[in-house]
Amino acid sequence: MTQRLNVAQQSPELFKKFLDFSMTEARSVIEEKIRDLVHIRASQINGCAFCLDMHVKGARIHGESELRLYHVAIWRESNLFIPRERAALAWTEAVTKLPEGGIPDELYERVRGQLSEKEISDLTFSIMAINAWNRANVAFKTVPGSADKLYGLDKAGLN
């Protein structure tokens, strides 16, 4: 696969502002473990090889188990995720896919049973960020692993 263009080079000011947004989002009230799961699940849904590769490596660096990473795609059937994580994954799928007619009240209430309003808000921004990164990286065919050294992902030992 050949990368089409480098957005950081072509639109440096926009890239920097969006990177700043993403770095701010990374300091939200949502714990790192859930952010990792959310970024992985959205990237799976969107078919973003670059982001999936990046966030799996990041999750491993953050201490996530290999088995749980394998189970993200089947989280509904897996017994490896706690209710809070399940709520975050369900919200991720709904916000990423945006069902016709909007997100059902029943889902919102189920998520609200596990997360505070502030957490749902911060989680939604996290989902928005990863979906935007997915779209850019899919559009421009960013090569998986091509930024590992830059982002310290080579430390994951998943080369």
Q: Is 47 exposed, middle or buried (0-12, 13-18, 19+ CB in 10 A)?
A: exposed
CATH 3.40.50.20 fits 31-154, yes or no: no
Amino acid at 96: T
Q: Is 38 exposed, middle or buried (0-12, 13-18, 19+ CB in 10 A)?
A: buried
The model's pLDDT over 3-50, given as tens digits with 9 standing for 90+, comes to 899 898 999 999 999 999 999 999 999 999 999 999 999 999 999 999
Whole-structure pTM value: 0.93
The model's pLDDT over 74-84, given as tens digits with 9 standing for 90+, comes to 999 999 999 99
Q: What are the residue boundaries of the structural domains of the chain, listed by start?
A: 31-154
